[in-house]
Amino acid sequence: MKNQMIIKSFLAILLAGISVPAFAKTMSVPSEEHAAYTVDVPGDWNPKVSDETVEATEPDNHVYLSGWTITKSDLGDLKKDLADLLKDSLKSIDGEPTEEAIENNGIKFMVLRGHGKDKRESSDVTFMVAVFPAGSGKAGIFYADWDSDAPSDVKDKLNGIMNSIKLHK
């Protein structure tokens, strides 16, 4: 009986260890060596960091996300950078994006949300850009866009990713 309990415990630990990487991968932004913040991205979204930017795409291509940092000296260029980012991703923006302040994990985010047409597929998309303090002289940027027909669980995963952002100290 005791041996069965030990074997069951071992199998449970082994399965938990194997399944964790499939659920989420903690990504450091801008890099592992100089992390300003971390974000947990589902492993099946194939997250990667290149050129100090984390990027990931949901397996069915309903969601794209990226995150990076800027220095305070770049802050003046941020609106232009965001406009360029949106022009690169979207054919058009519907109406005026909304802006709101939220707090999560002790971090104050300024979030810009809006809707538009995807540049490549001409489909309706929703986008979000979050800007937040990310350490001395830095700001973190988190961008995501998702198809209007994305399943609700994909949107829930995106909210979970956003809520996983933590400052690295």
Q: What is the pLDDT of residues 43-102, one digit of tens each?
A: 999 999 988 999 999 998 889 999 999 886 666 677 677 777 777 777 778 888 889 999
What's phi and psi for 29, nearest 5 deg?
-120, 130
Q: Whole-number mean pLDDT of the chain? A: 81
Q: Which residues have C-beta within 8 Å of that of residue 56, sequence separation ≥ 6?
A: 41, 42, 45, 46, 47, 48, 64, 65, 66
State which amino acid sits at residue 75.
L
| pLDDT for res 74 | 63
Average pLDDT over residues 109-131: 85
Domains of the chain, with CATH numbers?
A: 23-167 (3.40.1000.10)
- Give phi and psi for 126, each to the nearest 5: -110, 145
Answer yes or no: is pLDDT of 19 > 80.
no
CA distances to 5, 73, 78, 123, 143 from 83, rounded to whole Å, are 59, 18, 8, 19, 12
Distance of CA 119 to the CA centre of its chain: 20
pLDDT at residue 70, rounded to an integer: 86
Question: For residue 18, is pLDDT > 70?
Answer: no
Q: What is the pLDDT of residue 28?
A: 93
Name which residue leads in pLDDT, 23 or 75: 23
| Residue 17 pLDDT > 50 | no
CA distances, 17 to each of 11, 13, 38 (Å) = 10, 6, 21
Give me the mean pLDDT over the 16-21 stretch.
38
